[in-house]
Every structure is written in C-alpha cells, then in structure tokens.
Chains A and B, each alone.
Chain A
Amino acid sequence: MGALTSLAIRTLHVLAMAALVGGTTVLWYSYRSGAIATLAPARQFEWLFWGEVGVLVFTGVGNLGALGPPGPGTGWGRTLLVKLAVVVGFLGGSVVRTLLLVRASDRENTFDDLSPALRRTLSRVYGATAAVMLGIVVLAEVLAHG
C-alpha cells in the first residue's frame, strides 16, 4: 500500500510538471508566432496552471517524505536546497505573470486581438516561465538520478 501510494504520488508529480512545461511552451510559441492573438487561451491555462502548482507542491512534499531526505550538508541536500529556492522564486514570477494577464483582461476584451506590445510581453513571460521550469526539471533529474 505504501509503495503503491508513493508510486501514485510520484506519477502525479511527473504528469503535473509535464502538463505545465507543455502548456507554457505552447503558449510561449503561440504568442511569439502570432498563432494566438487573444487573452482567452492564456486565461484558461492559468486556472490549470495554479491547480497543477498545488498538486506539484503536495506531491513534491510527499516524494520527500517517501525518500527521507538527507541533511543540507550533503551534496543531495544542497541540490534540494537550491531546487526549493528556485521553486519559491518561480512561484513569485508566476504570480506576477498571471496577475499581469488578469490586469490586461480587465483593460481589454478577452476575445479581442492583442496589441503587439502586449503579445510580445506575454510571449516573453511564458518563455521565461518555460525556461525556469526546464531548469527545475534538470534539478529534479539530478536529485533523482545523480
């Protein structure tokens, strides 16, 4: 039962991260290329994004509980410390991105075409989000496989 729960938690963690990296990368490319010209898809994605963040946090802590992390003095512990700090920074950047989107849609109709300046800003923030998430994935791989 315990091993099965741990496997389910680990699987959920990986799936949630895959959904976030995939969704963010699609939005970055779509705003960059002009394939998306409105705020509506990004607004819908943000609901999913924050739901997935919640899932990632509790599955992440669950994973740590199953692993029994060594202290911060070890190499593994130091990498975990860096990962946690990067995740905290990532959350700070992400909340600003979502609120920027909300404030933009308070100002403009969600289904109207965006100004080039706003589209460029969205492309940049989703690009930065995807890049930081890829960095977190690399840190997670180091923790999992050394």
Chain B
Amino acid sequence: MAEDQRAGEHMAEGASATEPARDATQISTQPVSLVTWTLATFDTALFVLLGVLAAHASGGLADLLAGLNTLVGVAVFCYLWALFVLAVRWIHRRVSLDSAGVGTLALHGAAAGSVAGVVFLLGLFVVALVPTLQSGGVRLQAVLLVLLIGAGVAAVVGGVVGLLASLLDIAVYGLAGHLLPEAGSEWVTEPRRR
C-alpha cells in the first residue's frame, strides 16, 4: 500500500512545508495505517457475519449462541480482530495493493491466514485447557495429540480464509480506484473555506 510504504519516504524528505510535515508525522507514528485498519476490520466483521448468517439460515444460531457466555464471546471476537489486524499489517508491509500481482497478494494472504488460524487455536487452547491440565483433569499426551491435529486443521482453514479475504481486499481496492474521479476533472478555483 502506498500509505504504508510511503511512510518511510515521508520521514526522509524532512518536509519544509508545515502541512505535509504534519501529514508525514501522522502517518509514520501510527503502528497501523487506515487501509490496514479498514481491511482488517472489514475482513473480521464479514467473517463473523457470514458465520452468523449461515448459522441462522440453517436454524442453528440459537443453540450455537446459547452455549456462549457474552463476555467470553466479546473476548474471542477482540482476539480474532487483533489477529486479523496483525495479519493484514504483515501483508501490507511486504506487498503493495497498488503494484503487487494478485498471485503474490493471495499467497501472502494464505500464509498470514494459516499462521493466524494456528495462533487463534493456540490462544483458545491456552485459555481453555491450561487450568484443566493444572488440575490434572486431562492427560497431557491426549491434549498434545488433539492440539497437533487441531493446528493442522486451523492452518488449512486459516489459509483458505486468508486467501479469500486477500482476494476480496484486492477486488474492493480496485473498485475504489475505479470509482475515484479523475485528478483535476472539473477543477475550478474556489475560495478556501475556513
């Protein structure tokens, strides 16, 4: 993304004009760009909403939500959101939506999605199973076996989600560029409003 990748260039320019300097400072001091924040939140929200939509359409939403504590649900959503932000930031720091090919972006999306899927599962395992393990309720070998199989499944599912999300992100980024009016079209000099 131009926004992410230009941050370093802005800093090197040592801008003399006040406004561009302020702009560059705003961009370079942010750990996450607006594009990353937008696409990560969009992907997270879409992922959850499509899951809810599918569950409701199949008639199983009430049963699914009945077993979930509200605060636990909020915590899981925030954890998922944070992982999406980190994954999208990782992609955007390596490849640009402006210039990189679809294949490169999709590959990065699948890789980031796989890692995010495994980390998501590990986080849930740590929270859910560590207290049980400490109390001696479950055997460690059984947990490790389940974890190994679960990590494989989570990597595949995460990879597919990451691949689809990156393809969708490329599509909406392209559509936004298509809808943007041409530079300088219909430009007329107007007094600056303050």
**Chain A residues near B (Cβ < 8 Å):** 2, 5-6, 9, 34-37, 43, 46-47, 50-51, 53-54, 57-58, 61-62, 64-66, 68-73, 77, 80-81, 84-85, 87-88, 91-92, 94-100, 102-104, 106-111, 113, 115-118, 121
Interface string of B177-193 (1 = CB under 8 A from A): 10111111111101011
B66 touches A65 (CB 8 A): yes
Assembly CA distance A65 to B187 (angstroms): 52
Instruction: Tell me the smallest distance from the CB of B169 to a CB of chain A, in Å.
Output: 8
Interface residues on B, range: 35 or more
B19 touches A109 (CB 8 A): yes
Q: Which of A53, A102, A108 contacts B34 (CB 8 A)?
A: A102
A50 touches B49 (CB 8 A): no
Q: Which of B42, B48, B62, B187 contacts A95 (CB 8 A)?
A: B42
A81 touches B56 (CB 8 A): yes
Residue in B38, B73, B77, B172 with the greatest tally of chain A CB atoms within 10 Å: B38
Residue in A closest to B71 when the chains form the complex, CB atoms: A5
A53 touches B45 (CB 8 A): yes
Assembly CA distance A85 to B62 (angstroms): 18
Q: Which of A36, A65, A100 contacts B180 (CB 8 A)?
A: A100
A72 touches B59 (CB 8 A): yes
Assembly CA distance A7 to B45 (angstroms): 22
If A35-B193, A84-B49 touch, does A46 touch B34 (CB 8 Å cutoff)?
yes
**Chain B residues near A (Cβ < 8 Å):** 2-3, 6, 19-20, 22-23, 34-35, 37-39, 41-42, 44-46, 48-50, 52-53, 56-57, 59, 61-62, 65-66, 68, 70-71, 73-74, 77-78, 81, 172-173, 175-177, 179-188, 190, 192-193
Assembly CA distance A53 to B6 (angstroms): 27
Residue in B closest to A97 when the chains form the complex, CB atoms: B176
**Contact partners of A118 in chain B: CB under 8 A:** 180-181
Residue in A closest to B48 when the chains form the complex, CB atoms: A57
**Contact partners of B34 in chain A: CB under 8 A:** 43, 46-47, 98, 102
If A61-B48, A61-B77 touch, does A46 touch B172 (CB 8 Å cutoff)?
no
Q: Which of A51, A57, A73, A108 contacts B49 (CB 8 A)?
A: A57
B181 touches A96 (CB 8 A): no
A104 touches B53 (CB 8 A): no
B66 touches A57 (CB 8 A): no
**Contact partners of B192 in chain A: CB under 8 A:** 37, 113
B193 touches A85 (CB 8 A): no
Assembly CA distance A109 to B183 (angstroms): 12
**Contact partners of B184 in chain A: CB under 8 A:** 115
Assembly CA distance A92 to B175 (angstroms): 11
**Contact partners of B187 in chain A: CB under 8 A:** 115-117
A115 touches B41 (CB 8 A): no
Q: List 12 A-B contacts (CB under 8 A).
A: A34-B193, A37-B190, A46-B34, A58-B48, A61-B48, A61-B73, A85-B53, A87-B49, A91-B45, A100-B177, A111-B22, A113-B190
Residue in B closest to A115 when the chains form the complex, CB atoms: B187
Assembly CA distance A2 to B69 (angstroms): 9
A47 touches B37 (CB 8 A): yes
A96 touches B179 (CB 8 A): yes
